[in-house]
Amino acid sequence: MKEARKSRRRIFRRSAMILNIDKTILGPCSMLDVSATGAKIKLQMEDQVPDEFILLLSKGGKVSRRCKVSRKEGAIIAVQFVFKSSKPDM
Protein backbone atom coordinates (compact mmCIF):
# COMPACT_ATOMS: atom_id res chain seq x y z
CA MET A 1 0.00 0.00 0.00
CA LYS A 2 1.35 3.40 -0.99
CA GLU A 3 2.16 5.81 1.84
CA ALA A 4 -0.41 8.65 1.78
CA ARG A 5 0.23 10.24 5.18
CA LYS A 6 1.03 13.92 5.38
CA SER A 7 2.52 13.73 8.87
CA ARG A 8 4.43 11.04 10.71
CA ARG A 9 2.38 8.62 12.78
CA ARG A 10 3.45 7.06 16.04
CA ILE A 11 2.22 3.89 17.67
CA PHE A 12 -0.47 4.83 20.15
CA ARG A 13 -2.38 1.99 21.81
CA ARG A 14 -5.41 3.37 23.58
CA SER A 15 -9.06 2.53 24.04
CA ALA A 16 -11.46 5.12 22.69
CA MET A 17 -15.17 5.57 21.97
CA ILE A 18 -16.88 6.43 18.69
CA LEU A 19 -19.80 8.87 18.79
CA ASN A 20 -22.18 10.04 16.08
CA ILE A 21 -21.94 13.72 15.19
CA ASP A 22 -25.00 14.24 17.43
CA LYS A 23 -22.86 12.69 20.25
CA THR A 24 -24.85 9.48 20.63
CA ILE A 25 -22.58 6.53 21.42
CA LEU A 26 -21.83 4.06 18.62
CA GLY A 27 -19.34 1.90 20.51
CA PRO A 28 -15.75 1.28 21.59
CA CYS A 29 -12.65 1.04 19.42
CA SER A 30 -8.88 0.85 19.80
CA MET A 31 -6.46 3.41 18.44
CA LEU A 32 -3.44 1.80 16.80
CA ASP A 33 -1.47 4.86 15.76
CA VAL A 34 -1.85 8.63 15.61
CA SER A 35 -0.39 11.73 13.96
CA ALA A 36 -1.21 15.42 14.07
CA THR A 37 -3.66 14.97 11.20
CA GLY A 38 -5.18 11.50 11.66
CA ALA A 39 -5.15 8.02 13.14
CA LYS A 40 -5.60 4.32 12.49
CA ILE A 41 -8.40 2.69 14.48
CA LYS A 42 -9.52 -0.89 15.03
CA LEU A 43 -13.30 -1.14 15.21
CA GLN A 44 -15.46 -3.49 17.24
CA MET A 45 -18.61 -2.64 15.26
CA GLU A 46 -17.43 -2.12 11.67
CA ASP A 47 -20.92 -2.13 10.11
CA GLN A 48 -22.08 0.87 12.13
CA VAL A 49 -19.39 3.47 11.48
CA PRO A 50 -20.48 6.55 9.50
CA ASP A 51 -18.14 8.44 7.17
CA GLU A 52 -17.81 11.20 9.79
CA PHE A 53 -17.86 10.78 13.55
CA ILE A 54 -16.38 11.98 16.85
CA LEU A 55 -13.54 10.01 18.42
CA LEU A 56 -13.74 10.38 22.20
CA LEU A 57 -10.26 9.97 23.71
CA SER A 58 -10.93 10.67 27.39
CA LYS A 59 -13.53 9.28 29.77
CA GLY A 60 -14.63 12.74 30.84
CA GLY A 61 -15.07 13.88 27.24
CA LYS A 62 -12.50 16.69 27.41
CA VAL A 63 -10.35 15.21 24.62
CA SER A 64 -12.03 14.36 21.33
CA ARG A 65 -11.46 14.70 17.61
CA ARG A 66 -13.93 14.95 14.76
CA CYS A 67 -12.90 12.35 12.18
CA LYS A 68 -13.53 11.62 8.52
CA VAL A 69 -12.92 8.08 7.26
CA SER A 70 -10.25 8.03 4.56
CA ARG A 71 -9.79 4.27 4.14
CA LYS A 72 -11.45 1.05 5.35
CA GLU A 73 -9.86 -2.40 5.43
CA GLY A 74 -12.26 -4.65 7.34
CA ALA A 75 -12.21 -3.70 11.02
CA ILE A 76 -9.26 -1.30 10.53
CA ILE A 77 -9.97 2.25 9.37
CA ALA A 78 -7.78 5.26 8.70
CA VAL A 79 -9.24 8.64 9.62
CA GLN A 80 -8.35 12.25 9.04
CA PHE A 81 -9.00 14.70 11.83
CA VAL A 82 -11.37 17.52 10.83
CA PHE A 83 -10.27 20.87 12.25
CA LYS A 84 -12.22 24.13 12.36
CA SER A 85 -9.05 26.11 11.62
CA SER A 86 -6.23 25.29 9.22
CA LYS A 87 -3.87 24.15 12.01
CA PRO A 88 -4.28 21.09 14.25
CA ASP A 89 -4.55 21.79 17.98
CA MET A 90 -2.49 18.76 19.06
Residue 76 confidence (pLDDT) above 60: yes
Of 19, 6, 24, 25, which is closest to residue 78 (Cα–Cα)? 6
Confidence of residue 35 (pLDDT cuts 50, 70, 90): very high
For residue 27, the model assigns a pLDDT of 92
For residue 5, the model assigns a pLDDT of 52
For residue 6, the model assigns a pLDDT of 63
What average pLDDT does the chain have?
A: 85
Which CATH number does 10-82 carry?
Answer: 2.40.10.220
For residue 1, the model assigns a pLDDT of 41
Is the entire prediction scored with pTM above 0.95? no
Q: How far is it, in rounded angstroms, from Cα 18 to Cα 25?
A: 6
For CA atoms 44, 20, 17, 38, give the dihedral sign.
positive
